[in-house]
Amino acid sequence: MRRLTVLATLGAAVVLAGCTQPAPERAPELQAYDAAAHRANVEDWRAWRHGELVKPDGWLSLSGLYWLTPGEYTFGSALENDLVYSREGVPPVLGRFSVTETEVEFFPTEGVDVGMPGGEWGLVPPSVYVVGMEGETPVMQWGEMQWYVIEREDHLALRLKDAASELVTGFEGMDNFELAAEWRLDATFEFLDPPGTIKIPNVFGSLGDEELLGAVVFEYGGETYRLDMWRDSGDPDNLFTAFGDETNAASSYGAGRFLWVDAPDEWGRTVVDFNRSYNPPCAFSPFATCPLPPTQNRLPLRIEAGERAFSKKVELATGPPGVEN
């Protein structure tokens, strides 16, 4: 994952965490705010974000979520299939899934060029997903479509992405609030040692456990606020959070937004830049299984910075059998 840091304006004298040099007794002074550097950083972030959304397997391509229980399933554009995806040009039957409690196999229809991305089309053995498997999840592809198995809520589901979907081909970019210097805030990070556990709600109304790394603490309008932080990737230099604020359901996405914060320097200093807050995938697609902000991360502030609400209203994903949204 490309990392776009906001720490550059902390000053060249800052020694980042992990450096072998001992830290001075007193932290160096922070550089004065540089409006041009800030704007360039946020514009770079927005360009990177746009590229991530529109790439062939980006979140805009998310086009289907099919819950699987043990049994046999046909898959394709024909309405007679058990799993139907009816975009024009998709073969009537792409193949067949065989599902047990512990694995999912996919058998392509003879004569249909289904393969593994990067492999030799039409000459692959059946794709097998084993529950709890480590390493790369098998991904099958036909044309602009990709599909693979995910595990959510102790259930198996088929996730479908289509780079030729209308959402991808018609996407004109995200709508953002105007850049606001007041929402780029110096902050400190309070690590938990050892890390704890945080309960994170999701679109299905249930809770999942994540490793709680600590909290980022900042001041705004003379008051002190904090956001609990965890990780959403293996990048040790990016900390992640989901937050809510008083713009939700008005000018920003109703369920809240996401934000990355750079790992702090040796003195625990970092930056919270709400100009880089962004919409979760469920803002674009009814097939995303998004985490939501925990109660303590809902801020009594009107944060008019970062991404605005998506132009189209999208329903939340339907949960697995027996789980009500």
| pLDDT greater than 60 at residue 121 | no
Which of 21-35, 55-69, 128-142, 202-216 shows the lowest mean pLDDT across its residues?
A: 21-35
Q: Which residue in 202, 198, 174 sits closest to 288, CA to CA?
A: 202
Identify the pLDDT of residue 125. Answer: 65
Q: How far apart are CA 165 and CA 59, in angstroms?
A: 11
Q: How far apart are CA 161 and CA 164, in angstroms?
A: 9
Type of residue at 306: G
| pLDDT greater than 50 at residue 142 | yes
Q: Which two tokens stand for residue 254?
A: 């109703």
Q: What is the dihedral of CA 150, 156, 158, 159, to 10 degrees?
A: -40
Is 93 or 9 the better-scoring residue by pLDDT?
Answer: 93
> Percentage of the chain with pLDDT > 70?
88
Identify the pLDDT of residue 15. Answer: 36
Which tens digit of pLDDT belongs to each residue from 199-257?
Answer: 999 888 888 899 999 999 999 999 999 999 998 877 777 799 999 999 999 999 999 99
| pLDDT greater than 80 at residue 48 | yes
Identify the pLDDT of residue 314. Answer: 72
Identify the pLDDT of residue 131. Answer: 86
Identify the pLDDT of residue 247. Answer: 97
CA 23 centroid distance within chain: 35
| pLDDT greater than 90 at residue 132 | no
| pLDDT greater than 80 at residue 10 | no
The DSSP string of 282-309 is GGT-TT---B---GGGB-SS----SB--
Cβ of 10: how many Cβ atoms within 10 Å?
22
Identify the pLDDT of residue 320. Answer: 75
Q: How far apart are CA 102 and CA 132, in angstroms?
A: 9
Identify the pLDDT of residue 28. Answer: 85
Q: How far apart are CA 156 and CA 66, in angstroms?
A: 9
Which tens digit of pLDDT belongs to each residue from 161-203?
Answer: 999 999 999 998 999 999 999 999 999 999 999 999 999 998 8
Q: Locate the domains of the chain by residue range.
A: 7-55+174-297, 59-162
Q: What is the pTM of this model?
A: 0.85
Q: Are 190 and 217 in contact (CB under 8 A)?
A: yes
| pLDDT greater than 80 at residue 7 | no
Q: Is the peptide bond before 194 cis (omega within 30 degrees of 0)?
A: yes
Q: Are 68 and 104 in contact (CB under 8 A)?
A: yes
Identify the pLDDT of residue 27. Answer: 80
In the predicted model, what is the mean pLDDT of residues 73-81?
Answer: 97
| pLDDT greater than 60 at residue 2 | no
Mean pLDDT, the chain, integer? 87
| pLDDT greater than 80 at residue 34 | yes
| pLDDT greater than 50 at residue 147 | yes
pLDDT band at 316 (very low <50, low <70, confident <90, very high): low
| pLDDT greater than 70 at residue 1 | no
Q: What is the bridge-based pairing of β-strands 145-152 and 155-162? A: antiparallel
Q: How far apart are CA 95 and CA 198, in angstroms?
A: 40
May I ask the CATH class of domain 59-162? mainly beta
